[in-house]
Amino acid sequence: MRPPADHVLVVGMMGTGKSTAGQIVAARLGRLFVDTDAEVERSTGRSVADLLSSLGEPAFRAEESVALGRALDARPGAVVAVAGGAVLDPANRSLLRQSGTVVWLRARSETILDRVGDAADRVLLQPDPAEAVPRLVAERRRLYEELADAVVDVDGLSPSEVAARVLAVVVRRVRVGVPGRSYEVAVGPGARHELASVIPGRARRAVVVTQDGVGVDVDPGIDTVHVVVGDGERDKSLATVERVCRELARTGVTRHDVVVAVGGGVVTDVAGFVASCYHRGLDLVNVSTTLLGQVDAAIGGKTGVNLPEGKNLVGAFWQPVAVLCDTDALVTLPEREWRSGFGEMAKYAFLGVEDLDRLPLSAAVERCVAAKAAVVADDEREGARRVLLNYGHTLAHALEAAGFADGDEPTPGVHATMRHGEAVGAGLVFAALLARRLGRIDDARVRRHVELVESYGLSTALPAGVDRDELVVLMGRDKKATDGLTFVLDGPDGVEAVPGVERAAVVASLAEHAALAGRAATVVDGETRR
Ligand SMILES: NC(=O)c1ccc[n+]([C@@H]2O[C@H](COP(=O)([O-])OP(=O)(O)OC[C@H]3O[C@@H](n4cnc5c(N)ncnc54)[C@H](O)[C@@H]3O)[C@@H](O)[C@H]2O)c1
């Protein structure tokens, strides 16, 4: 499974500074820089001017499309200066749209003419650049406009000023409108570099809480105390909270300081809970470094720790003052953590995020954050609406309670443990099978669930060794279950909580789900055939 593309694509007319500014942006983000003109020249061994005058524009454009495809295949995400005319080809435009964040460097014709000089080597501007430049600008303006996620006006700016603006606009922004405590989530490459600017002015000291394995450097811009917490669900505990609080007390941290959580859901849950209760409440900034954290755990203000009796049993609602979701911090994530994040992400495809699996990474994270923000703003404390975020989770929680949770000892030869998002992936497919059995959705909608979950490299099946009767009992104990078995299910009016589901329907859907094991199955015509 490969993470979705997430390039920074700089487009615009010749002379707008795409290459110079692009190289500065790449250096700042620690990314590879690619210039599609240079790619064409490297692969053909000839200059762009030579190719254009000898082959003519159509044949040159074909070479250019090949070079663009090759450039976008570069891994990890690159900063790509896209040749000015590449946007003329609709196939190139759709490729660019799917490949990352497109920034248009926009300039007036006078600026371009000024910068290209006599334009002797610019074949497309001959014989009269003063006529050609405004004509090309007019021809291409609409295409750039339609394509770009963001625009930077470059007239009068130096390359480093252009680069600074590109870095600012490639970070997308979502407001979480919780009444009285609203805050912004910044999503995109390099978002963590905004940390100093979101630290509350009154803070004298930042307490950076992280784990050894995270390895994401941050600079709060003020005096900083570092606290390292352990990895995994066992360390998401009251003992860890006590240890962190005592460390803060020893170092003299006060209510006016700020906690900065740098990590995945374990770190943001623990650090968030510390922030909620140390000195009766400190400001909190989340720098989320896992996909699951970025689309879910770091947003919405739920914090807490586990007890030996169960997960997340002690906690508080405590909203952060800002959240930074740096998609570049995800490059070091192990494969399994990507998969777990995708499982949590997949639910949003059924909560209003269209074409989720076709979006480049930062756009996908942004849309999921926006979907969660809309629910949280409406229902901070988990009344009716917030329960929708539990789509796919009833089975997932039952699996976790049945000993399949990560951190449990796997039973040798019987079952493997699942990361939370892996369990949610299976839970989404189960919810779809149950919804179909209840006549709420059709085969095509079930297929969409299966295909989406598979597209993220997740198993759709119930794990081997599962005791289905035990799962039914555990699902009956779900927090939502106020009226018999309650599930969050898809239906004609979208996803909603459905109380009073017949046990027989649940048992039959579990049996159908179990038959998907090994995934040599296709889901057709209301039943599962192998
Ligand atoms: N508060 C909420 O609303 C909410 C929502 C969903 C989940 N959660 C909680 O989140 C937790 C799961 O979070 P998670 O999936 O992020 O797992 P995690 O926090 O355990 O992180 C997974 C692993 O990745 C490592 N890691 C983190 N960032 C990394 C990086 N950039 N590069 C390499 N390794 C990195 C961590 O050290 C850890 O080993 C669970 O405890 C769950 O209960 C909370």
List pLDDT tens digits, range 189-247: 999 999 999 999 999 999 999 999 999 999 999 999 999 999 999 999 999 999 999 99
Pocket of ligand 1 (CB under 6 A): 211, 213-216, 231, 233, 236, 263-267, 269, 289-290, 292-293, 296-297, 300, 302, 311-312, 329-330, 332-333, 337, 340, 420
pLDDT at 521: 36
pLDDT at 412: 58
Residue ranges, comma separated, of all CATH 1.20.1090.10 domains in the chain are: 391-529
pLDDT at 529: 37
Atom of ligand 1 nearest to the CA of 232: 20
Q: Please choose, from the candidates 276, 480, 523, the residue with its C-alpha nearest in 3D space to the C-alpha of residue 388.
A: 480
Q: Which two tokens stand for residue 450?
A: 């299966």
Which CATH class, in words, describes the domain spanning 7-169? alpha beta
What is the chain's Cα-based Rg?
26
Q: Which of 7, 93, 393, 513 is catalytic?
A: 393
CA distance 235 to 185: 27
pLDDT at 3: 72
pLDDT digits (tens, 9 = 90+) for 125-169: 888 889 999 999 999 999 999 999 999 999 999 999 999 999 999
pLDDT at 220: 98
pLDDT lower than 50: segments of the chain = 519-530
CA of 264 to the centre of ligand 1 (A): 3
CA of 458 to the centre of ligand 1 (A): 18
344 is catalytic: yes
- The single residue listed with the structure tokens 């003992």 is 239
Q: Which of 250, 280, 381, 529 is catalytic?
A: 280
Residue from 178, 208, 209, 214 to probe ligand 1 pocket by mutation (most atoms less than 8 Å from CB): 214
CA of 342 to the centre of ligand 1 (A): 13
280 is catalytic: yes
390 is catalytic: yes
Question: Which residue, by CA, sits nearest to atom 39 of ligand 1?
Answer: 231
User: Residue 3: how many CB atoms within 10 A of its CB?
Assistant: 20
Going along 251-383, which residue ranges are E strands?
Answer: 258-263, 283-288, 302-307, 310-317, 322-326
CA of 221 to the centre of ligand 1 (A): 25
Residue from 176, 209, 210, 266 to probe ligand 1 pocket by mutation (most atoms less than 8 Å from CB): 266
Find how far residue 32's CA is from the centre of its chain. Answer: 21
CB neighbour class for 12 (10 Å; exposed up to 12, middle 13-18, buried from 19):
buried
Residue from 292, 327, 368 to probe ligand 1 pocket by mutation (most atoms less than 8 Å from CB): 292
pLDDT at 249: 97
pLDDT at 513: 95
CA of 90 to the centre of ligand 1 (A): 40
- The DSSP bridge pattern shows strands 302-307 and 310-317 to be antiparallel
CA of 397 to the centre of ligand 1 (A): 16
Which H or E element spans position 11? strand 7-12
Q: Which amino acid is at 171?
A: V
Atom of ligand 1 nearest to the CA of 212: 37
Q: Which of 302, 347, 419, 449 is catalytic?
A: 302
Find how far residue 476's CA is from the centre of its chain. Answer: 32
Fold of 391-529: Dehydroquinate synthase-like, alpha domain (1.20.1090)
End-to-end Cα distance, the chain: 24
pLDDT at 530: 31
530, 495 Cβ separation under 8 angstroms: no
Residue ranges, comma separated, of all CATH 3.40.50.300 domains in the chain are: 7-169
pLDDT at 162: 98
CA distance 455 to 342: 9
Residues with Cβ within 8 Å of residue 526, at least 6 apart in sequence: 436, 443
Which H or E element spans position 429? helix 420-437
Residues with Cβ within 8 Å of residue 305, at least 6 apart in sequence: 236, 237, 238, 240, 241, 269, 270, 273, 312, 314, 315
Specify the DSSP class assigned to residue 5: P
pTM of the full structure:
0.92
Fold of 172-334: Rossmann fold (3.40.50)
pLDDT digits (tens, 9 = 90+) for 363-386: 999 999 999 999 999 877 766 788
Q: Which amino acid is at 489?
A: L
Buried b / exposed e along 325-354 (16+ C-beta atoms within 10 A): bbbbbbeebeeebbbbbbbbbbbbbbbebe
397 is catalytic: yes
Residue ranges, comma separated, of all CATH 3.40.50.1970 domains in the chain are: 172-334
